[in-house]
Amino acid sequence: MRITRITVYRIDLPYVGGTYSWAKGKAVEVADSTIVRLDTDEGLTGWGEVCPLGAAYLPAYAAGARTGIGVLAPHLIGRDPTCIGALNRVMDWEMRGHAYVKSPLDIACWDILGKAAGLPVHSLLGGRQNDAMAMYRAVPQDTPEAMAAASEGFRAEGYRQIQLKVGGDPADDARRIRAVVEAVGPECVVLADGNTGWRRDEALQVANATRDLNYILEQPCESYADCLSVRRRARQPFKLDESLQSLEDLQRARQDDACDIASIKVGKHGGLTKARMLRDVCAANKLPMTVEDTWGGEIVTAALAHLAASTPPEVLLNTTDLHSYNTVHFAAGAPAVEDGCLTVGDAPGLGVEPIADLLGPPVAAYE
């Protein structure tokens, strides 16, 4: 089988809640998603997607993804999409870094491999170990009262894990955490995500002011060294996200005992191939993880759902229904959301089929 054509689409995904705000005033109202279609000489088609959260969250941005795909495409046309290891090697040889550029291409190859084998992607990633997977719901930064009300609303919808966006003024953030933890009750898991917004002294102020509360502290500071410093002095369970991008990052964090929970994001690692590798390293080390992504629609959600479904349940803290965060839906067959859990089916490949009219005309095509 050979890749004959790579087609790129762009779609705007407006946030259902209007403005999605996180640390220190960073915000997005519309996420710019890039969708990739791979066609083959055997008539099979694969779909991939990458959607950075604006340009200020991770070192990734939407136009960069599309430009990078244009750089890689000539090296992928004519190659076998079912030889995914070899294809990743070519991408890494031709382009150093820029994992997010490679992610939609890798995901599309898994979709094709599944369709060729007649198997769902989760079967190819190790086999199903979960049916209904617990999800977290992110609550954008707002007043403590508004965040508590939003959290209660999500709790009523069935979510049992709430991730609140903090990383702002330390006194305000302590009030945000207290309001949400008290609103959702002890059965609900709460993650307070600093998203790199605090200095280490600010992070410690927040951690100290909320010592009596049960919640998980996530990525307080920008640098790994500052996160490690906070981790060693704060009593809360600790999650790393932005500081874990490569396998090397994960190995260092493990060696330093730098976190209790790891964030696995398909896009930030460079697709399902590398996300699976990090997932398996976490699982082998009994390190719990969240299986998620920066943002995305139905294709990203399907990709992370297949990875989550094949993750050992004892180390899967949660996953996420990113497609529920958008007012626009562009594909059929997306993972189902019910009572705070995500389920993914057994159709071959990713099981999602974009609707051509909703994607609009392609922004680029390579053959």
Applying CB under 5 A, which residues contact Mg ion? Answer: 193, 241
Name the token pair of 32: 């710019």
Active site annotation includes 265: yes
Query: Of 47 and 136, which CB lies nearer to Mg ion in the complex structure?
Result: 136
Catalytic hit among 26, 165, 239, 268: 165
Return the CA Rg of the chain: 20
Which residue's structure tokens are 């009593």?
A: 235
What distance in Å separates the CA atoms of residue 290 and residue 61, rounded to the nearest whole number? Answer: 22
Closest by CA position to 38, among listed 107, 117, 139:
107
What distance in Å separates the CA atoms of residue 366 and residue 89, rounded to the nearest whole number? Answer: 20
Backbone angles phi, psi at 262, to 5 degrees: -115, 145
**Minimum CB–partner distance for residue 287 and Mg ion (Å):** 16
What distance in Å separates the CA atoms of residue 49 and residue 54, rounded to the nearest whole number? Answer: 15
Catalytic hit among 26, 265, 268, 274: 265
**Minimum CB–partner distance for residue 191 and Mg ion (Å):** 8
Which residue's structure tokens are 């626009």?
A: 328
Query: Of 7 and 290, which CB lies nearer to Mg ion in the complex structure?
Result: 290
Query: Of 88 and 290, which CB lies nearer to Mg ion in the complex structure?
Result: 290
Query: Of 87 and 216, which CB lies nearer to Mg ion in the complex structure?
Result: 216
Listing DSSP states for 20-71 in one string gives: EE-GGG-EESEEEEEEEEEEETTS-EEEEEE--SSSSSSS--HHHHHHHHHH
**Minimum CB–partner distance for residue 335 and Mg ion (Å):** 20
Sign of CA dihedral 6, 270, 60, 325: positive
**Minimum CB–partner distance for residue 244 and Mg ion (Å):** 10
Query: Of 108 and 240, which CB lies nearer to Mg ion in the complex structure?
Result: 240
**Minimum CB–partner distance for residue 165 and Mg ion (Å):** 9
Could you give the residue numbers annotated as active site? 165, 265
